[in-house]
């Protein structure tokens, strides 16, 4: 056995442990900070009405419901949706996102209707259409309640909101979900840090014993 073969186990432990430590630090610190910053922005925004949408370029938050002015898609009764296809991966069935259909959406809010420019993101959805056992469409239909977070692209009649994220929730429910996400990120980061520390310490301990000549992990019988 070569001299370097004896260091194989501590090398493997370190190779796995160090990335776990780095990932744990990022998840534990940076991800919760990012979520907290976004939550602070949402908390500061007042729920707008059609009359208060007058500052072009400002971030806006809307609570309303899908107007019947919005055209139905090819997957009636949905007007906007994410398409998913069921695939088998590593012995488990999973739903893979195939595409998003996000045309111009009309949302009714207190005071009138607001146009949501095409290309928005569907964060959470209330309505489901299944097409067989391997295909499904999750989205919105007319009169579904929506929460819109975006940028006012044009004031006037009607106001236009772009760069939007749309969810099936209220402002308070969204803030509560962000708080849960932040807590989950902290615990997940802690788990990665603990595993990374254990693996790295194991690598250091094995390396020390090999260096001291106490063990030969791959000695011939």
pLDDT of residue 215: 52
The whole-angstrom distance between residue 13's C-alpha and the CA centroid of its chain comes to 31
> Using an 8 Å Cβ cutoff, are 175 and 10 in contact?
no
Instruction: Tell me the pLDDT tens digit for each residue of 125-143.
Output: 999 998 888 899 999 999 9
Residue 85 pLDDT grade (very low, low, confident, very high; cuts 50, 70, 90): very high
pLDDT of residue 1: 47
pLDDT of residue 10: 66
Instruction: Tell me the pLDDT tens digit for each residue of 158-204.
Output: 999 999 999 999 999 999 988 888 888 888 888 888 887 787 877 77
- Residue 3 pLDDT > 80: no
Cβ contacts of residue 142 below 8 Å, gap of 6+? 66, 67, 68, 70, 72, 77, 79
Q: Which position has the higher pLDDT, 117 or 217?
A: 117
pLDDT of residue 84: 95
pLDDT of residue 181: 86
pLDDT of residue 180: 87
DSSP run (H or E) holding 148 = strand 145-154
> Using an 8 Å Cβ cutoff, are 70 and 142 in contact?
yes
Mean pLDDT for 17-31 is 79
Question: What are the backbone dihedrals phi and psi of residue 138, each rounded to the nearest 5 degrees, phi first?
Answer: -115, 125
SS3 167: strand
Mean pLDDT across the chain: 85
Instruction: Tell me the pLDDT tens digit for each residue of 108-125.
Output: 999 999 999 999 999 999
Q: In angstroms, rounded to a whole number, what is the distance separating the alpha carbons of residues 162 and 149?
A: 9
- Residue 33 pLDDT > 60: yes
Mean pLDDT for 204-208 is 73
Handedness of CA 187, 165, 112, 52 (dihedral sign): positive
């Amino acid at each position: 056995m070569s001299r370097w073969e004896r260091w194989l186990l501590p090398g493997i432990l370190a190779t796995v442990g160090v990335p776990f430590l780095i990932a744990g630090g990022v998840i534990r610190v940076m991800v919760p900070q990012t979520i907290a910053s976004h939550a602070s922005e949402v908390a500061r925004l007042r729920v707008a009405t059609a009359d208060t949408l007058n500052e072009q370029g400002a971030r806006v938050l809307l609570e309303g419901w899908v107007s019947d002015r919005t055209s139905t898609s090819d997957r009636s009764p949905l007007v906007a949706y994410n398409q998913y296809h069921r695939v088998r991966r590593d012995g488990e069935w999973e739903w893979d996102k195939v595409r998003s259909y996000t045309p111009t959406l009309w949302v009714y809010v207190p005071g009138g209707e607001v146009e949501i420019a095409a290309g928005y993101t569907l964060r959470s959805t209330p309505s489901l259409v299944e097409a067989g056992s391997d295909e499904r469409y999750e989205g919105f239909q007319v009169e579904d309640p929506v929460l819109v977070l975006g940028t006012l692209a044009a004031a006037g009649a009607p106001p236009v909101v772009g760069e939007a994220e749309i969810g099936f929730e209220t402002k308070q429910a969204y803030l509560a979900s962000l708080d849960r996400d932040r807590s989950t990120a902290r615990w997940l980061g802690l788990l990665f840090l603990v595993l990374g520390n254990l693996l790295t310490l194991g690598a250091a301990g094995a390396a020390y014993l090999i260096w001291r000549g106490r063990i030969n992990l791959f000695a011939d019988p």
